[in-house]
Chains A and B, each alone.
Chain A
Amino acid sequence: MSWPWPSEFRILQKDELAPGIKRIVVYAPLIAQKAKVGQFVIIRVDEYGERFPLTLVDWSPEEGTITLIFQEVGVSTKKLGALKVGDRILDMVGPLGNPSRIRRYGEVAVIGGGVGTALMYPQVLALKEAGNKVTSIIGARTSRLLLLVNEISRVSDELYISTDDGSMGVKGFTSDVLKALLEEGRRFDYVFAVGPVLMMKAVADVTRPYKIKTFVSLNPIMIDGTGMCGGCRVRVGGETKFACVDGPEFDAHQVDFTELLRRLRTYRKEEEEAARIFDEKMKEEAHEA
């Protein structure tokens, strides 16, 4: 039986795409073999670590590798970011979640904000391959934080950029760009958005009056990723769904974003504390070295 059962999730490559945003290529042959667009993995970096989800950005069944891009915000992503090439991640399970709805819609807009820009890359690629005309809209706080601009540009029919500070592209939000396009008379058959909750909500609000089918990839707090804990429950169309097994992509016009945002903030204080402790530890280690 020569199946690639998980044993060692070794980091083969690592680079920093933008300040605090890292890309790693990890040896995970089973996951690479099974991955589909829109799916995620659950990671536990070390013995003390949390279980947390990361969306798959790229994968190669031939090389047995997967690519992850993440922003270092909490202790878990900071820990992951601190690993070096050659280090191993203790646990990784996946691919989890339902694959994206990739089909031939016609004209589609794919919108990514912040680290979500990286996560939209496989969507753009797959939608393009499915024969869609793809308009990509990417945005970040400032130009330095824009991710994969060249890659996305290469596979999109059109690319629009927005930054909050106007340092590149339009000054404003991705949803503003989408709104302007729609007001100009552009029509989309499908819109996909991934990024900060408020951005996804804004996109949903923009497309709602136009009745454009709009899907978003949600990122609630998750533990097991198999439907066991219910921590990732989100309200969609008045019903409670589990993002891990029913999602992670949902009809944006049905999602209760306010509840999602509140639930995401459940552990804010604890997350800040854990991150602070980790930063101090790293500082001490750097000092000793």
Chain B
Amino acid sequence: MKLTNRLRQVPMPKLDVEERIRSFKEVALGYTEEQAIAEAERCLQCKVPRCVEGCPVGVDIPAFIRFIREGKFDEAVEKIKEKNALPAICGRVCPQENQCMGKCILGLKGDPINIGGLERFVADYERKKGFSRPEIKPSTGKSVAVVGSGPAGLTAAAELAKMGHSVTIFEALHAPGGVLMYGIPEFRMPKDIVLSEVNYVKSLGVKIVKDVIIGRVVTLKELFEMGFDAVLLGTGAGLPKFLGIPGENLCGIYSANEFLIRVNLMKAYAFPKYDTPIKVKGRTAVIGGGNVAMDAARSALRLGSDVTVIYRRTEAEMPARREEVLNAKEEGVNFTFLAAPTRFLGDEEGWVRQVECVRMELGEVDDTGRRRPIPIAGSEFHSDFETVVVAIGQRANPIAVLNDPRIKLTRHGTIVVNPETYQTTMEGVYAAGDIVTGNATVISAMGGGKKAAKAIHAFLTGENPKKGR
């Protein structure tokens, strides 16, 4: 069998749907060596590679693909890690279709190169083989506190450690990884892979202190008093948004955060082996159309529920990755488009029983570039649901700086930074990731973490970009 057809991607092997919906095992299985080489051979090795332009951290994509083609996987890993410390994560959850792959010239006539799949292949190859330690610059004698161990914090910590700074990450929860741990489910981002990436960062000399909430327990001022020379805030967009409609506090209604924290961080899917329960009854409604909504829907399905996603626009406007929507559909998630909940109705014991929705139609294009959904008067309808997950987005979590007037926040609760240097309104304090951008992607947080690390390095070594250059 000929594996290579230049216009067609080597398909990513996936777990059978039947097996998927009964477990939390990872869905995408990853390329074999043979498949990876075959996919790499499709690459045109463009002289002016557009894929690199599409990468928020600027990975030299053609170069690492060339190494794969030649079977030089160690070199391929090294090439990626020049720019991206956490490829096993990016290879799995980056929205490549809008980034590198979206720019691939092959996509004009056929399928773009599965860059994410290849990145994942080499990352998994390295993990199985054991990480090699990159070059670490001699100690600068400076120390940096990184607040939050999600994508932004881990990336920045790795970069800063390689530059020779002493780095301590503070994590509020009991496990490092941030949204990779509490938010993205096992079937998309296996937790042992997150932990092994975290261990890689630790192997660079980064210390991780868990169970400490900077801002609540230890203030920014105290971090400087105890000798840190700079602070990076990578605290993410961890606050849930609710709809603010009647009945939202009925039992059985979860924020996506609570639902996913129970399932992912607390492993409620393995109750009673794990003590944290989750209650998913016969029919579940997931409100929203983003990746978090897909994660919640597919988790509820795996917990045995009949799941319907309710989204106020149409499928075309869904912010979720196409691949995840297709996975959800394959697995049997139902979709109700052009509808929005107006209230929740409960029983005498305070449990949700019904969701009342109003039908929507699409109007003019709004400032998000999508057509605005408009309620159709009098079109309310009721559907029976015993579980509801509200997945309409997360807000920035400014808990770390709430009590510090020196740090300026926007009206959305995100931290104001200099877009060049990522410095906040307080000298020596930087911020990156969702706490700056509002909820975005893992890779944009990583990109931010990397840029902030550069700026912190400049600040610590005296080339303060604020003072010129």
Contact = CB atoms under 8 A, between A and B. Distances in A.
- Does A associate with B in a complex? yes
A228 B238 contact: yes
Interface in A30-89: 30-31, 34, 44, 48-51, 75-76, 79
B327 interface: no
Question: Which of B143, B242, B266, B349 is most buried by chain A, counting CB atoms within 10 A of its CB?
Answer: B266
Interface residues of B, number: 42
Contacts of B172: 93, 224, 226
A34 B217 contact: yes
A210 interface: no
A223 B209 CA distance: 19
Interface stretch (B20-28, B33-41, B51-59, B249-257): B249-257
Contacts of A92: 211
Contacts of B272: 270, 273-274, 277
Contact of A226 (B216, B218, B255, B275): B216
A98 B360 CA distance: 42
A223 B211 contact: no
A229 interface: yes
Contacts of B255: 229-231
B197 interface: no
B265 to A, nearest CB: 8
Given A49-B275, A240-B249, A226 B258 contact: no
Interface stretch (A121-129, A142-150, A261-269): A261-269
A90 B258 contact: no
Contact of B212 (A6, A229, A231): A6
A228 B211 CA distance: 15
Contacts of B242: 230, 240
A109 B449 CA distance: 52
Nearest to A233: B249
B209 A230 contact: no
Contact of B240 (A31, A51, A228, A262): A228
Interface string A213-240: 0000000000110111111011100001
A50 B266 contact: yes
Nearest to B395: A227
Nearest to B173: A224
A3 B224 CA distance: 12
Given A51-B174, A227-B238, A231-B258, A30 B271 contact: no
Interface string B202-235: 0000000111110011100000001100000000
A118 to B, nearest CB: 23
B212 A90 contact: no
Given A1-B226, A49-B275, A6 B210 contact: yes
B248 A240 contact: yes
Contacts of B279: 266-267, 270
Contacts of B218: 3, 30, 34
B251 A44 contact: no
A30 B216 CA distance: 12
A146 B257 CA distance: 39
Interface residues of A, number: 47
Interface string B341-375: 00000000110000000000000000000000000
B261 interface: yes
A113 interface: no
Nearest to B236: A228
Nearest to B170: A5
Contacts of A90: 174
B121 to A, nearest CB: 31
Contacts of A273: 272
B350 A270 contact: no
Nearest to B275: A50
A191 B227 CA distance: 44
A259 interface: yes
Given A50-B276, A270-B279, A263 B211 contact: no
A229 B397 contact: no
Given A75-B275, A230-B255, A274-B275, A91 B174 contact: yes
A248 interface: no
Contact of B257 (A50, A96, A228, A277): A228
Nearest to B237: A228
A262 B240 CA distance: 21
Most chain A CB within 10 A, of B174, B211, B238, is at B211
A271 interface: yes
Nearest to B274: A48
A5 B209 contact: yes
A95 interface: yes
A271 B278 CA distance: 11
B401 interface: no
Nearest to B175: A91
A229 B262 CA distance: 9
Given A228-B240, A228-B257, A235 B277 contact: no
20 contacts: A6-B211, A34-B217, A48-B275, A50-B266, A95-B216, A95-B217, A223-B258, A224-B172, A226-B213, A227-B239, A228-B182, A228-B240, A231-B258, A235-B249, A240-B248, A262-B349, A263-B350, A266-B251, A270-B272, A270-B277
> What are the 5 A-B residue pairs with the smallest beta carbon separation, nearest first?
A262-B350, A270-B277, A229-B258, A91-B174, A230-B255
Given A228-B238, A228-B239, 12 more contacts: A34-B217, A48-B273, A76-B275, A226-B399, A227-B238, A230-B240, A230-B242, A230-B257, A233-B249, A240-B242, A262-B349, A277-B272
Interface of B: 143, 172-174, 182, 209-213, 216-218, 226-227, 238-240, 242, 248-249, 251-252, 254-255, 257-258, 261-262, 266, 271-277, 279, 349-350, 397, 399
